[in-house]
A and B are shown apart, each in its own frame.
Chain A
Amino acid sequence: MNAQNLASGSAYFIAKETELPVTTVLSVLVDNEPGVLARVIGLFSGRGYNIESLTVSETEHEQHLSRITIVTRGTPHVLDQIRHQLERIVPVHRVVDLSVRAGELGNEKPIQRELALVKVAGFGDNRNEALRLAEAFHAKVVDATVEHFIFEITGKGSKLDQFIAIMKPIGLVEICRTGVAAMNRGAQGM
């Protein structure tokens, strides 16, 4: 939890936090140069902010730009600080709070998608059940033997959570998730 929200233990004059924390999605456009991710992550750990999910990849190869998507949680005041602190990092071009922006556009939330690879092993009825459920969730089989499947599933985090929960009793072996990719609806860019 954010250091500023702790009532005691931390030193100095700390006012009690009265605002409630909310979850938000930040899109951060950065120069794709060595160390830039370390700067962003170091900022979060150094200042006691949360990271619930983080994805990063080069999105504009010619301009050497990467887009970092961070799901974070904090009070509106802390989220404002996070945005300003990110903007201070020299290779950071822009920081957009997608959740706030979605509100401005009249949407409830930005579009958020995640991809997961889910390995399930088993025999007999369990195999049939796994395949049937995968179909219901629109998960693809990307690898299979007589004793296992690897499913690829894409969707909202909650859908992935649900799929994984259902697979658990059937023979879940391992999971790999990408973290959230997000953007806002409509014709406008970030």
Chain B
Amino acid sequence: MTAEKQDSDSHASKRREMTGAEMVVQALIDQGVKDIFGYPGGAVLPIYDELFQQDKINHILVRHEQGAGHAAEGYARSTGTVGVMLVTSGPGATNAVTPLQDALMDSIPLVCISGQVPTSLIGSDAFQECDTVGITRPCTKHNWLIKDVNDLARVLHEAFHVAKTGRPGPVLVDIPKDVQFATGMYTPPETAPRTSYNPKVQGDIEAIKQAVALLASAKRPVIYSGGGVVNSGDEASRLLRELVEISNFPITSTLMGLGAYPASGKNWLGMLGMHGTYEANMVMHDCDVMLNIGARFDDRITGRLNAFSPNSKKIHIDIDPSSINKSVRVDIPIIGDVANVLEDMVRLMRASSVQPDKKAIGEWWSQIDKWRARKSLSYTRNKDVIMPQHALERLYALTKDHDTYITTEVGQHQMWAAQFYGFEKPNRWMTSGGLGTMGYGLPAALGVQIAHPNSLVIDIAGDASVQMTMQEMSAAVQYNAPIKIFILNNQYMGMVRQWQQLLHGNRLSHSYTEALPDFVKLAEAYGGHGIRCEKPGDLDDAIQEMLDVKKPVLFDCRVANLANCFPMIPSGKAHNEMLLPDEATDEAVANAIDAKGRQLV
């Protein structure tokens, strides 16, 4: 098919005959896809041949299929649309497993199209064959193996529908090579979804009324918001801000929910959980009414479950009924999409004759101010060595006025980024929360930069994580994606080491990297730009240089090697048993976790 011919078809695509490979491209166009991330191979060559002969879909060639997946995740999360990846059979599909599971745990809409060996060879241990739908069944929201080309178009449209509706997630469509060559009938997207899949978006109004009444009676309330607010869209964030404004309730958020409420907002307590702020965790522990909006009581949030917020009534808004009462029993569950539920909630709150008790909430705020005064994120500056927290404070100061998107890898740097970088808007923060995938940030930054070519995209990285997907620097250079990889380099797997100090008698088993690449030369080898900074005094100029360079940058920020991430709820402890930075002496750290807690993670 020629590009000209496709032009006339693409706007109002109708039922017509085409090959399976053509259908893939046509379905992507009909679904409004502009960019996809992928890697060719034997079993997807017909699709790549179609991609070659058109110019509507922009294909980004990554260097490893895991990179394609994380790039598509970054793309999806920063745009609020579906990310698309295209991989070949066998190793292409198995390499996609990590990003699929990552997207499943963080509820990121992702469509993975994988090639498969021809139908007649399935089950024969053919070259580059694997049971892709079997392998990816537990790490996708749903998956399909296409055996008949006449099912392909319908399934592709259904795949997009399933990925983006309800609780979003990854899906996979496995297409054998003979189906890609075969000719069949293409059908345009349908509006009617399959009957067995019908997620509920509107909350039960009676439950919302009860929730509003409970909130109005609260003396020590807290709003605990999560990634569901971001996933629900801009309107959900706007309503969340309105809710905080009219109620004057304190608000904290999970790692995934950062940015839904602005970090500069006066009711903001900072992130909660294992490395959350003292005030956020104390508020959670002592509150009398908790409003959970689109979060899932993750174990990094709750600490010891039987000591989690022991005296509160809990309201939980979630689109996924299986999230309700999964780990924490709640008093008022509301199943629905955050934006729909908050719209009702805000409206009812405004109309309600019973308003929050201003005096009680005033007293609650004075208690919160005492906790805030504890300054749980404080650290000791150093003239000679860059403290990682300081590096992030400077990075924030110098980039906050830009149109900035932040991604991270996983580890100490990720927690510091969450603590010290202020997010004002949703969809600006891309991080691997549930799965904790080291190597997420660099390809995710690539995906974000492809979606937002003129924005500033920074991957706050660690020296260990960044090497897991370093090869995507090559893709970034190829597509002129000027991503900035800001590496907090302490030569350790810092979080692993921190846990070894806490749990394993300071025996630092294999958490020190004896040999690191010269990141500056590595950047140059890829055709990017390398910067090294070793002194606090040079930091601002170096960051400025990073911002001025219009190329991918590896910034090797040499930070204090043994700095640890505090505050921290040691495992097996409750929210009110935090280890604060000024109390975290070597001895306190060594004794923070008792024998029982040691079995936990």
- With both beta carbons as reference points, the residue of chain B lying nearest to A77 in the complex is identified as B325
Q: Is there contact, CB below 8 Å, between A87 and B322?
A: yes
Partner of B196, one of A38, A84, A92: A92
Q: In whole angstroms, how far apart are the Cα atoms of A26 and B381 in the complex?
A: 60
Q: Is there contact, CB below 8 Å, between A39 and B145?
A: no
Provided the pairs A38-B134, A46-B138, A90-B197 are in contact, do residues A11 and B325 lie with their beta carbons within 8 angstroms?
A: no
- Please tell me if B306 contacts chain A, counting CB pairs below 8 Å: yes
B134 to chain A: which residues have CB within 8 Å?
38
CB distance from A95 to the nearest CB of B (A): 11
- Please tell me if B493 contacts chain A, counting CB pairs below 8 Å: no
A39 to chain B: which residues have CB within 8 Å?
137
Most buried by A among B142, B195, B572: B142
A112 to chain B: which residues have CB within 8 Å?
none
- Please tell me if B302 contacts chain A, counting CB pairs below 8 Å: yes
Provided the pairs A81-B322, A85-B322, A92-B196 are in contact, do residues A15 and B306 lie with their beta carbons within 8 angstroms?
A: yes
Q: In whole angstroms, how far apart are the Cα atoms of A80 and B327 in the complex?
A: 12
Q: In whole angstroms, how far apart are the Cα atoms of A31 and B193 in the complex?
A: 14
Which of under 10, 10 to 19, 20 to 34, or 35 or more describes the interface residues of B?
Answer: 20 to 34
Chain B 126-143, CB-CB to A under 8 Å as 1, else 0, gives 000000011001100111
Q: Is there contact, CB below 8 Å, between A90 and B138?
A: no
B582 to chain A: which residues have CB within 8 Å?
none
Q: Is the interface of B mostly helix, strand, loop or mixed?
A: loop
Q: In whole angstroms, how far apart are the Cα atoms of A89 and B137 in the complex?
A: 11
Q: In whole angstroms, how far apart are the Cα atoms of A15 and B307 in the complex?
A: 9
- Please tell me if B600 contacts chain A, counting CB pairs below 8 Å: yes
Partner of A12, one of B320, B326, B329, B601: B601
**Residues of chain A in range 30-67 having any CB-CB distance to chain B below 8 Å:** 30-31, 34-35, 38-39, 42, 46
CB distance from B560 to the nearest CB of A (A): 30
B326 to chain A: which residues have CB within 8 Å?
81
A81 to chain B: which residues have CB within 8 Å?
322, 325-326
Q: In whole angstroms, how far apart are the Cα atoms of A94 and B572 in the complex?
A: 38
B137 to chain A: which residues have CB within 8 Å?
35, 38-39, 42
Partner of A90, one of B142, B324, B572: B142
A92 to chain B: which residues have CB within 8 Å?
196
B324 to chain A: which residues have CB within 8 Å?
84
Provided the pairs A38-B134, A38-B137, A84-B321 are in contact, do residues A90 and B162 lie with their beta carbons within 8 angstroms?
A: yes
- Please tell me if B299 contacts chain A, counting CB pairs below 8 Å: yes
Q: Is there contact, CB below 8 Å, between A13 and B304?
A: yes
- With both beta carbons as reference points, the residue of chain B lying nearest to A39 in the complex is identified as B137
Q: Is there contact, CB below 8 Å, between A90 and B322?
A: no
A13 to chain B: which residues have CB within 8 Å?
299, 302-305, 571-572, 600
Q: Is there contact, CB below 8 Å, between B196 and A90?
A: yes
CB distance from B38 to the nearest CB of A (A): 24
Q: In whole angstroms, how far apart are the Cα atoms of A151 and B330 in the complex?
A: 52
Q: Is there contact, CB below 8 Å, between A88 and B196?
A: no
CB distance from A107 to the nearest CB of B (A): 26
Q: Is there contact, CB below 8 Å, between A8 and B599?
A: yes
Q: In whole angstroms, how far apart are the Cα atoms of A55 and B299 in the complex?
A: 35
Q: Is there contact, CB below 8 Å, between B195 and A93?
A: yes
- Please tell me if A91 contacts chain B, counting CB pairs below 8 Å: yes
- With both beta carbons as reference points, the residue of chain B lying nearest to A94 in the complex is identified as B196
Q: Is there contact, CB below 8 Å, between A16 and B306?
A: yes
Chain B 157-195, CB-CB to A under 8 Å as 1, else 0, gives 000001000000000000000000000000000000011
Provided the pairs A13-B302, A46-B138, A84-B322 are in contact, do residues A34 and B145 lie with their beta carbons within 8 angstroms?
A: yes
B195 to chain A: which residues have CB within 8 Å?
93
CB distance from B555 to the nearest CB of A (A): 35
CB distance from B593 to the nearest CB of A (A): 12
A11 to chain B: which residues have CB within 8 Å?
599-601
Partner of A14, one of B133, B305, B320, B329: B305
B304 to chain A: which residues have CB within 8 Å?
13
**Residues of chain B in range 297-331 having any CB-CB distance to chain A below 8 Å:** 299, 302-306, 320-322, 324-326, 329
Q: In whole angstroms, how far apart are the Cα atoms of A77 and B162 in the complex?
A: 28
A15 to chain B: which residues have CB within 8 Å?
305-306
B572 to chain A: which residues have CB within 8 Å?
13
B305 to chain A: which residues have CB within 8 Å?
13-15
Q: In whole angstroms, how far apart are the Cα atoms of A89 and B167 in the complex?
A: 12
Q: In whole angstroms, how far apart are the Cα atoms of A135 and B145 in the complex?
A: 50
Chain A 144-173, CB-CB to B under 8 Å as 1, else 0, gives 000000000000000000000000000000
B141 to chain A: which residues have CB within 8 Å?
90
Chain B 566-601, CB-CB to A under 8 Å as 1, else 0, gives 000001100000000000000000000000000111
Q: In whole angstroms, how far apart are the Cα atoms of A34 and B195 in the complex?
A: 17
CB distance from B175 to the nearest CB of A (A): 15
A34 to chain B: which residues have CB within 8 Å?
145
B299 to chain A: which residues have CB within 8 Å?
12-13
Q: In whole angstroms, how far apart are the Cα atoms of A83 and B329 in the complex?
A: 16
B133 to chain A: which residues have CB within 8 Å?
35
Q: Is there contact, CB below 8 Å, between B600 and A93?
A: no
Provided the pairs A13-B305, A16-B306, A38-B137 are in contact, do residues A80 and B162 lie with their beta carbons within 8 angstroms?
A: no
Q: Is there contact, CB below 8 Å, between A80 and B320?
A: no
CB distance from A79 to the nearest CB of B (A): 11
A31 to chain B: which residues have CB within 8 Å?
194, 196
**Residues of chain B in range 322-344 having any CB-CB distance to chain A below 8 Å:** 322, 324-326, 329
Q: Is there contact, CB below 8 Å, between A42 and B138?
A: yes
B162 to chain A: which residues have CB within 8 Å?
90
Q: Is there contact, CB below 8 Å, between B194 and A12?
A: no
**Residues of chain B in range 474-497 having any CB-CB distance to chain A below 8 Å:** none
A9 to chain B: which residues have CB within 8 Å?
599
B571 to chain A: which residues have CB within 8 Å?
13
**Residues of chain B in range 101-158 having any CB-CB distance to chain A below 8 Å:** 133-134, 137-138, 141-143, 145
Could you give 24 example pairs across A and B, Cβ below 8 Å? A12-B601, A13-B299, A13-B302, A13-B303, A13-B600, A15-B305, A16-B306, A31-B196, A34-B145, A35-B145, A38-B137, A42-B138, A46-B138, A77-B329, A81-B325, A81-B326, A84-B322, A84-B324, A87-B321, A87-B322, A88-B320, A90-B162, A90-B197, A91-B196
8 more A-B residue pairs beyond the given contacts A14-B305, A90-B197, with a C-beta to C-beta distance below 8 A: A13-B571, A13-B600, A81-B325, A84-B322, A85-B322, A90-B141, A90-B162, A91-B197
Chain B residues in contact with chain A, CB under 8 A?
133-134, 137-138, 141-143, 145, 162, 194-197, 299, 302-306, 320-322, 324-326, 329, 571-572, 599-601
List of 4 A-B pairs having minimum Cβ-Cβ separation, nearest first: A84-B322, A90-B142, A15-B305, A93-B196
